[in-house]
Amino acid sequence: MKKIQIFSISLGFLIVFLLGLGANVLFFNDESIEVYANNNMETIVIDAGHGGYDVGCIALDGTQEKDITLDIALSTGELLEETGYNVVYTRTSDNVSWPEDNKEYLQSRIDIAEDADANYYISIHINSSDYNDGASGYETYVDFNDDEMVEMAESIHAQLKLLNYAQDRGVVDTNETPLYVVSNNSIPALLLEVGFITDTNDFNYMVNNGDDLAQAIANGIMNSIETEEISKEV
């Protein structure tokens, strides 16, 4: 019995020591389910586009972009958190305290990421167009000089494509189409437009299948990070 106690104490000290070094520690519970403890995971900022007084684009039935993006953003963040990533949200409700000056308002979102010393900044938005021009699909804006973020955007698109809900409009270079939260961000960033609120099929899918979109976005992010980490180890 004493030997067992000594072993348990020693194991406890070993685990604490390894965690202190930022190591991945593998535990086994009574049902032999593997549980990982990692205190050195990346910090990902999830930015739900618009919010508060800024409603974003509006559907024919009055649904506002800010509400759809918030639902998808929170679900995406929850999935990342469940996997062990540190997640910071620019907002978790419709109550915001940002200034109504557009530049200051967007900078406030960036400040959240920079204050968190985040590794990645993912902004989720919804597109709009004239209702009669047939525009639909998802697209992502990213700085083409940032290879890692381009790969993450492509990874997210690969997952969205599996849902088969809309056309892939591709990845767009913010050096040609500047967007403040990407172009002025010191944190590696991308802005994803998950669909067109003005397209009936896109709109219905975004409203009714937000969890599927969140899973695809989370999978794309995680696959990209894991691929990047493997390439660094080789």
Query: For the purposes of burial, counting CB atoms within 10 Å of the CB of 27, is it exposed (0-12), middle (13-18) or buried (19 or more)?
Result: exposed
Q: Which residues contact 100 (CB under 8 A, 6 or more apart)?
A: 53
Left (φ > 0), alpha (ψ -120 to 50) or beta: where does 206 sit? Answer: alpha
Left (φ > 0), alpha (ψ -120 to 50) or beta: where does 123 sit? Answer: beta
CA dist., res. 145 & res. 128, Å (int) = 27
Q: Which residues contact 74 (CB under 8 A, 6 or more apart)?
A: 46, 48, 89, 92
pLDDT truncated to tens, each residue of the chain (234 aa)? 433 343 333 444 433 444 444 433 333 333 322 333 344 689 999 999 999 999 999 999 999 999 999 999 999 999 999 999 999 999 999 999 888 998 999 999 999 999 999 999 999 999 999 988 999 999 999 999 999 999 999 999 999 999 999 999 999 999 999 999 999 999 999 999 999 999 999 999 999 999 999 999 999 999 999 998 887 776
Look up the pTM and report it.
0.83
Q: How long, in residues, is the chain? A: 234
Q: Render the burial of 68-101: b for 16+ CB within 10 Å, e for the rest.
A: bbbbbbbbbbebbeeeebbbbbbbeeeebebeee
